[in-house]
């Protein structure tokens, strides 16, 4: 059901003004939005991204691994040579938030919603059913797996296991946003012992390069 299109920022974001399009993400260092870091890796595979990490004056003593959580960027080139800016700011915020085009967009709140936006940059299109299922899994991951009770978590684990018995990935035969967000939520929920299918899926996630930096942070 996946419809691949030629990835092109102009087709996703509309006309270009010819300068760096900078995505600003504010996140609290006490609650690292792991999925956004994985998505950053995915976006970097497709576009020339200028990644920078800043610490806002509202927070102090940010651990050093968060200062370079986007990897050792090579910033020798001029900003205008990049297609996309990814500016991560460690800041005192309740929820992760994203600011992009301040004239036409309000700031986007919540890890799940920011994740949806970042994944959409990849330009993958899905039919209505698939995209709704992906959206649903994102909600499940954020609200039930991350913030739910142990009972809710167990229920998610069961349904995840059964979803993974038919397919290599959560939704269909390709990696989708659902895999990224579910994987990160699962690792941050500190659950011991996964069912067989989930275990296999966790391994295949960790084999992907884009998960590397996030994995480093977990250690």
Partner 1 sequence: MTKGESGGVQEDQPQSKKAAKKLQKEAEKAAKKAEKQAKLASENQAGDEEDFAKDRYGILPMIQSQEKLDRVLVHVKTLTEEKADQVVWLRSRVHTSRAKGKQCFLVLRQQQFNVQGLVAVGDHVSKQMVKFAANISKESIVDVEGIVRKVDQKIESCSQQDVELHIEKIYVISAAEPRLPLQLEDAMRPEAGDEEGRATVNQDTRLDNRIIDLRTMTSQSIFRLQAGVCQLFRETLIKKEFVEVQTPKIISAASEGGANVFTVSLSISQSMKYSLKFMFRAEDSNTHRHLTEFVGLDIEMAFNYHYHEVVTEIAGTLVQIFKGLRDRHQTEIQTVCKQYPCEPFKFLEPTLRLEFPEAVAMLKEAGVEMGDEEDLSTPNEKLLGRLVKEKYDTDFYILDKYPLAVRPFYTMPDPHDPKYSNSYDMFMRGEEILSGAQRIHDPQLLTDRALQLGIDIEKIKSYIDSFRYGAPPHAGGGIGLERVTMLYLGLHNIRQTSMFPRDPKRLTP
CA–CA separation, 215 vs 218, rounded Å? 5
Nearer to partner 1, 87 or 204 (CB): 87
| Least distance (Å) between residue 57 CB and partner 1 | 5
| Least distance (Å) between residue 69 CB and partner 1 | 14
Nearer to partner 1, 56 or 95 (CB): 56
Order of all β-strands in the sheet with 108-109: 84-90, 21-27, 97-99, 108-109
Nearer to partner 1, 8 or 58 (CB): 58
In the complex, the residues that contact partner 1 under the rule CB under 8 A are: 17-20, 22, 24, 26, 52, 54-58, 76, 78-80, 87, 89, 91, 99, 101-103
CA–CA separation, 215 vs 158, rounded Å? 24
Task: Please tell me what DSSP assigns to residue 68.
Answer: T
CA–CA separation, 74 vs 91, rounded Å? 24
- Element of type H or E holding 22: strand 21-27
Q: Are 117 and 98 in contact (CB under 8 A)?
A: yes
Pair of tokens at residue 170: 């959560």
Contacts of 109 (CB under 8 A, 6+ apart): 95, 96, 97
Q: Are 114 and 96 in contact (CB under 8 A)?
A: yes
Nearer to partner 1, 108 or 180 (CB): 108
Cα 6-213-39 angle, rounded to 5 deg? 35
């Amino acid at each position: 059901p996946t419809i691949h299109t030629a990835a092109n920022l102009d087709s996703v974001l509309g006309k270009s003004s010819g300068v760096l399009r900078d995505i600003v993400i504010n996140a609290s260092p006490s609650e690292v939005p792991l999925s956004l870091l994985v998505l950053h890796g995915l976006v970097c595979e497709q576009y020339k991204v200028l990644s920078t990490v800043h610490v806002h004056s509202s927070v102090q003593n940010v651990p050093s691994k968060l200062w370079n959580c986007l990897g050792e960027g090579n910033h020798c080139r001029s900003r205008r040579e990049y297609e996309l800016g990814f500016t991560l700011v460690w800041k005192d915020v309740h929820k992760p938030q994203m600011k992009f085009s301040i004239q036409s967009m309000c700031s986007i709140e919540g890890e799940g919603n920011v994740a949806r936006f970042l994944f959409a940059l990849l330009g993958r299109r899905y039919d209505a059913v698939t995209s709704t299922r992906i959206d649903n899994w994102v909600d499940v991951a954020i609200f039930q797996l991350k913030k739910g009770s142990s009972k809710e978590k167990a229920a998610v684990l069961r349904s995840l296991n059964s979803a993974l018995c038919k397919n290599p990935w959560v939704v269909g035969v390709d990696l989708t946003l659902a895999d990224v967000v579910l994987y990160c939520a699962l690792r941050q929920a500190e659950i011991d012992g996964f069912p067989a299918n989930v275990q296999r899926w966790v391994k295949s996630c960790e084999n992907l390069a884009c998960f590397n930096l996030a994995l480093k942070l977990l250690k």
